[in-house]
Structure 1
């Protein structure tokens, strides 16, 4: 069966297969299909993850929590934490780690709106929806006005790129979805468009992040 003739199914169905251990690739972000790094998401949090999470303060919303390694570590660190994800299998695995999670889109009504002290966008989840400015504006509604967004980014020189992407797993391909990649060199402009300020950028091993707060 050729790639072009693969049957299209929902994103959730294909991502669920990936989380269950089936090899999966993402197409459309780079010139070639990229293996989905599921093993990095299903393992326990490591020291590099911990370095990223130390920027979260207080009650934290883990947006696009996946199988919950960071949600669980935040709970271990003493945070009140809730993971949200649009994929039921991701939420099931997060709950299996003993932490709270909901099947919910970030643009849906959420528990505790306006009271969360931190929102976490890790593992490239600043790309959710393909419009980083709209995503950050939505998180401003979710957060306490004194709260912060901890966002993992691509490295320097990437800028901002928004594409149509899809997941391929076995003999199925997901329906196309919008996704964005934001480099650390572009986050100041993206944040400003969302009414936020960058209060710090950080390197964690080979990973980059920024902390965003309400602009003065």
Structure 2
């Protein structure tokens, strides 16, 4: 069964969209960035990939496309029909399924990507980190884009809102680098790197 976040198909189709949290905070979604080729802002993630990569919540597939351009094997995973069509247009290989479902080559990936806020998928970052860790080969890494606030920790529900409609509420989460560093050992991971800035990231290695 696919767990689709209602509204994301519209956003992935190019509509301006925002994420409305259950605590009242609204966040503009970077729809244009998702559709553009990978940029300098994605460099930290891409530069830390040296082997096979699986991108959870790949969207239109810009990171998969960029990794293939670096001659690295890469696969996207997304539950969205729009993401599937966009990846096909980019010739970026992907499977359309829930990130918590069985994936190809489980336990053999060198890197798992959770970019663009995808640490929020399912509303439980610990469960998602454990899922990512299970996909890794020994010594592999989970590369996570975090909230720019290192201390951020929020769990609740969100709606994806476009000019045409507000999606149904679904579980979501936001987490900063400090929170993920504390969670990592419970998922069999240890923090080995990071970058702080307007876009922030952590590298978590399978221990």
Normalised by the length of structure 2, the TM-score is 0.91
Query: What is the alpha-carbon distance in structure 2 between the residues aligned to residue 195 and residue 172 of structure 1?
Result: 40
After superposing the two structures, state which structure 1 stretch, 40-49 or 19-28, moved more: 19-28
SS of the equivalent of 1:150 reads: strand
Q: How does 1:101-116 map to 2 (within 5 A)?
A: 101-116=94-109
2:28 aligned with 1:50: no
Runs (4 or more) in structure 1 with deviation over 4 Å come to 10-13
Match of 1:18 in 2: 11
Shift in alpha-carbon separation, 1:60–1:27, aligned structure 2, 3 A: same
Q: Which of 20, 25, 42 is the aligned partner of 1:27?
A: 20
2:87 aligned with 1:94: yes
Q: Which of 192, 195, 203 is the aligned partner of 1:202?
A: 195
Q: How does 1:76-87 map to 2 (within 5 A)?
A: 76-87=69-80
Query: What is the alpha-carbon distance in structure 2 between the residues aligned to residue 126 and residue 208 of structure 1?
Result: 12
SS of the equivalent of 1:119 reads: strand
Could you report, residue by residue, the CA deviation over 1:98-128 in whole angstroms, capped at 9, with x for unpaired residues?
1201111111111111111110010111111
Match of 1:142 in 2: 135
Q: CA deviation at 1:21?
A: 2.3
Structure with higher Rg: it is 1
Query: What is the alpha-carbon distance in structure 2 between the residues aligned to residue 141 and residue 69 of structure 1?
Result: 24
Query: What is the alpha-carbon distance in structure 2 between the residues aligned to residue 127 and residue 178 of structure 1?
Result: 8
Cα RMSD over matched residues? 1.8
Q: Which runs of 5+ in 2 are unaligned?
A: none
Contact 1:11/1:175 (<8 A) preserved:
no
Contact 2:15/2:31 (<8 A) preserved:
no
Query: What is the alpha-carbon distance in structure 2 between the residues aligned to residue 22 and residue 53 of structure 1?
Result: 27
Normalised by the length of structure 1, the TM-score is 0.88
SS of the equivalent of 1:147 reads: strand
Could you report, residue by residue, the CA deviation over 1:20-47 in whole angstroms, capped at 9, with x for unpaired residues?
2223221116634333220111111111
Could you report, residue by residue, the CA deviation over 1:129-161 in whole angstroms, capped at 9, with x for unpaired residues?
111111111112111122111111112343311
Contact 1:127/1:180 (<8 A) preserved:
yes
Query: What is the alpha-carbon distance in structure 2 between the residues aligned to residue 144 and residue 11 of structure 1?
Result: 28
Query: What is the alpha-carbon distance in structure 2 between the residues aligned to residue 109 and residue 67 of structure 1?
Result: 21
SS of the equivalent of 2:134 reads: helix
Contact 1:133/1:190 (<8 A) preserved:
yes
Match of 1:5 in 2: none
Query: What is the alpha-carbon distance in structure 1 between the residues aligned to residue 20 and residue 53 of structure 2?
Result: 31
Aligned residues: 205
Query: What is the alpha-carbon distance in structure 2 between the residues aligned to residue 102 and residue 193 of structure 1?
Result: 28
Match of 2:205 in 1: 213
